[in-house]
Chains A and B, each alone.
Chain A
Amino acid sequence: MSNQQNINSLPLIIIAGTPGAGKTSILVHTIRILKSANRRPALVKIDCLATDDDIRFAKLGLPVLVGLSRDMCPDHYSIYNLDEMKEFAQKNHADSLIMETAGLCHRCAPYTENCLGVCVIDSTSGPNNPGKAGPFLSCADIVVVTKGDMISQAEREIFRERILEANPRCYIVDVNGLNGQGAAELAQKFQSFKAGSSGEDKLRHNAPFAVCTLCIGEQRVDKKFHRGLLRNMNGCEQYVGE
C-alpha cells in the first residue's frame, strides 16, 4: 500500500457543535473507553483564537495536535489542513483520527463524505434549536444530545423528535458530559466505523456563497463600501463589483 492509500484508509471522525454544547467533555469520556479497548486515536482540536482543551486531551496520554485558525474561517482551516492532521496521526501510529472543530456560523458542515460526522447539540438550547441548527446537524451521521439530565423527560422526547425532523437518518445518542453516561454507546459507534472508500473525498455540504468585503477586512458600515454577493432584508440579492 502506498503512503497516500494508507492515509485515506485512516478512519476520520469529525465532531461539530455549538460552543459550550459539551463536545470536549463527551469526547474525553468516549476516548477513555476507546483507550481501555486498546484503541489509539490521534486527537486534533481546532479553535479560532485560543483553546485549553488540548490540556484535557493530553491527560488521556494520546497524541494531540492543536490548530488555531485565527483570521481564517475555522471550518475552511480544518478541511484545508486535513492532510497535515492525517500525517500527524500516521506518524504517531494512531489507528484513527478524531477532529473536534470550532464550528461557528452554522451555514456549512465540516463533514466529508468519507468521515463519520458527529454533531453535538445541547438539549437545554430548546426544542426550536434543532430546526435552526443547519447542515452541521442535518448532514451528521450521529447526533449526540447533551445535558438531558437538566430537562424533563417530555422536553427530552420533544427535542429528539425535532432532531429527527431535521435529520431523519441520523442515529441519536444521549450522552451526559459530566458522568459519561451514554459514552459507551458512542465509543461503540466510533469503533465500528470504517473509512469510506471514495478516492477523492468531498465536503457533504457547500459553504456559504463566495467572499464578502467584511471577510477581507472592510470595517466601514455604509452600504456603498460593500462588494460581492449581497442580500437585502427585503429578499433581493445582487452582485456588486467588477
Chain B
Amino acid sequence: MVKIECISLIGGIDKSGNPENITSLDIRKGEIIGIVGPTGSGKSQLIADIEQLSQKDSSTRRQILVNGKVPSPALRNDPRQKMVAQLSQNMNFLADMEVRDFLRLHARCRGKDQISTDEIIQKANQLTGEPIKPNDNLTILSGGQTRALMVADVAVISESPIVLIDEIENAGIKKHEALELLSGHNKLIMIVTHDPVMALSAKKRIIMKNGGMSTLLEATPEENIVSEQLTGIDATILQLRELLRNGKHIRETDLHNLPQSLLCKEENASLTL
C-alpha cells in the first residue's frame, strides 16, 4: 500500500475551455478542504476527478498526482489498492441484493473478508431513524437509510487515506456523526457542501465557478468564531428536527436556548482572540 503524504491537483480547463484560475494545488494528509460553489459549478466533477485520479483524460483535463508522481493504473482501478473512498451524491442503491450480501461482497472486493457486516449495519443505524435490517433488500431502503449505509460502508470497508464526501448534509441523516465516522485520524478529506456549518468547519475551501477551481480561501479568525456560533444554531435546528420527527409540538422556549448559548460562545471566542 502506497503511503499518502500529499496529492496535487493540476488545473485543467473550465466549462468555457479557459484555463482554471488555480493551476496547481497541493493537499496534505490531515487536511480538511471544503469545496463550495453554485449548483452546476463543477464541485462533484472535481471529486470525481480525484476519485478516478484523472490524468488529463476527463472533460476538465485535470491531472492528479500522488506524492508528486503519476499514479499507476492499478492504483486507479484495483479496489484492493485504491486509496480513495468516495461518498457520492447517490440516494439510491440500484443493486438488487440483500444488505448483508452486499456488504460481504464489497468487503471481498476490497480484500477485507474478515470485516463484520453486523458492525457496519449497526454503525449505519446510528445515523438514521428507522433501523436497517441485514436481510433488507438494498433497493427498498429509504434515501436516508441508503445514505447512512453508504457512509458506514465507506467508513469501514472502503477505509482509505483519502476521503471524498459529496453533500453529507442531504437525506436527513445525522451529519456530524456521519462526518466523524468518515474522518478518522490523519486522513486527507474533501467535502463538497452547500451547508455553511460544514463549509466553515474546514480550514480551507476551494471556490468553484463555471466548472473550474476559481479561488482557494483560508478560513479567517473571524470565520472561526462564526463557525462556532453556527454550530450552536445548527444544534438548535437539529434539536427542533428531532422534536418534530417524534411528533412533538415546538414551543418558543425550545428556540430560546439559542441566543443564550450563542451569546456565551461569542464572549468566549472574543476572549480567546
* Chain A interface residues (CB < 8 Å from chain B): 124, 126-128, 149-155, 157-158, 160-161, 172, 174, 179-185
6 contacting pairs across A/B (C-beta < 8 A): A124-B94, A154-B102, A154-B157, A154-B158, A161-B105, A182-B57
Q: Does B117 contact A (CB under 8 A)?
A: no
Q: How far is the CA of A179 from the CA of B57 in the complex (A)?
A: 10
Interface residue range, chain B: 20 to 34
Q: Does B128 contact A (CB under 8 A)?
A: no
Task: Tell whether, in the assembled complex, residue A127 and residue B48 are in contact, meaning their CB atoms are under 8 Å apart.
Answer: no
* Chain B interface residues (CB < 8 Å from chain A): 48, 51-52, 54-59, 77, 79, 82, 85-88, 90, 93-97, 102, 105-106, 108-110, 150, 153-154, 157-158
A52 to chain B, nearest CB (A): 25
Q: How far is the CA of A154 from the CA of B87 in the complex (A)?
A: 9
Return the 6 tightest CB-CB contacts between A and B, nearest first.
A184-B57, A157-B79, A181-B58, A179-B59, A157-B109, A153-B86
Task: Tell whether, in the assembled complex, residue A126 and residue B96 are in contact, meaning their CB atoms are under 8 Å apart.
Answer: yes
Task: Tell whether, in the assembled complex, residue A127 and residue B57 are in contact, meaning their CB atoms are under 8 Å apart.
Answer: no
Residues from chain B with a CB closer than 8 A to the CB of A127 are 95, 97, 105
Task: Tell whether, in the assembled complex, residue B59 and residue A161 are in contact, meaning their CB atoms are under 8 Å apart.
Answer: no
Task: Tell whether, in the assembled complex, residue B79 and residue A161 are in contact, meaning their CB atoms are under 8 Å apart.
Answer: yes
Task: Tell whether, in the assembled complex, residue B157 and residue A172 are in contact, meaning their CB atoms are under 8 Å apart.
Answer: no
A31 to chain B, nearest CB (A): 15
A169 to chain B, nearest CB (A): 15
Q: With A153-B154, A179-B58 given, name 11 new contacts (CB 8 A).
A: A127-B105, A149-B88, A150-B90, A152-B93, A155-B94, A158-B95, A160-B77, A161-B105, A161-B108, A174-B52, A184-B56
Task: Tell whether, in the assembled complex, residue A157 and residue B57 are in contact, meaning their CB atoms are under 8 Å apart.
Answer: no
B33 to chain A, nearest CB (A): 19
Task: Tell whether, in the assembled complex, residue A161 and residue B93 are in contact, meaning their CB atoms are under 8 Å apart.
Answer: no
Task: Tell whether, in the assembled complex, residue B109 and residue A181 are in contact, meaning their CB atoms are under 8 Å apart.
Answer: no
CB within 8 A of B59: which of A150, A151, A181? Answer: A181
Given A126-B96, A172-B77, also A153-B51 (CB < 8 A): yes
B128 to chain A, nearest CB (A): 16
Task: Tell whether, in the assembled complex, residue A152 and residue B48 are in contact, meaning their CB atoms are under 8 Å apart.
Answer: no
A202 to chain B, nearest CB (A): 31
Q: How far is the CA of A183 from the CA of B82 in the complex (A)?
A: 21
A109 to chain B, nearest CB (A): 24
